[in-house]
Amino acid sequence: MMFLRISIIIVLSCIITSTRAYDPDALQDLCVADKSHGTKLNGFPCKETSNITASDFFFAGISKPAVINSTMGSAVTGANVEKIPGLNTLSVSLARIDYAPGGLNPPHTHPRATEVVYVLEGELEVGFITTANKLFSKTIKIGEVFVFPRGLVHFQKNNGKSPASVLSAFNSQLPGTVSVAATLFAAEPALPEDVLTKTFQVGSKMVDKIKERLATKK
């Protein structure tokens, strides 16, 4: 537990001391998200101050490894404004990612935030690709940190024979995740098939096969 607390402090410090947040600045001390409110905003409306409790700022969901039941062999547990209403307007959030041996967090982007990962357990191959199509990749171990710049495609892969875990920090209350494969092959409604066949230079049967496989992934 002490190791996890130290990890959270280190990673949060990297984000909180950032010179620029991508979320709008707060204009009051507290704006706890009122997710039951029907009004649509860039963020969430604020709860009445009289209805705010300490529970609005608490979440225990990343205190232990998640159960991994996905075919990718990884599980992401977000600790963002959807789980912690008190994060509304504060421009920070966390996530815990757990990996089975050989597990992959497949290529994806976060359109609203830079991500910093801190290794809690195991060893991971991580990397991101720039807009110039250059890959920056490295193997990271317990206690080490790696940064994924905002909006760039990135991944993490556990090449070891034992489980691995990281703590991720974001400079957004809700960074968003765009999974490359799922976005292209499992969108609803589906992308036109000729867009996919021409983009990847494959036939319709291959596109249908990929769609079928991705449809079963969770």
- Amino acid identity at 134: K
pTM (2 decimals)? 0.84
User: Which of 73, 72, 84 is CA-nearest to residue 170?
Assistant: 84
Whole-number Å distance between alpha carbons of 126 and 158: 9
Phi then psi dihedrals of residue 210, to 5 deg: -65, -45
Q: Containing H/E element for 79? A: strand 74-79
Tens of pLDDT along the chain (218 residues)?
665 566 656 565 655 554 455 676 776 778 888 888 777 677 788 999 999 999 999 999 999 999 999 999 999 999 999 999 999 999 999 999 999 999 999 999 999 999 999 999 999 999 999 999 999 999 999 999 999 999 999 999 999 999 999 999 999 999 999 999 999 999 999 999 999 999 999 999 999 999 998 875 54
Provide the edge-to-edge strand list for the sheet that holds 135-141. 135-141, 123-129, 153-157, 104-109, 178-179
Nearest Cα to Cα of residue 158 among 95, 98, 104: 104
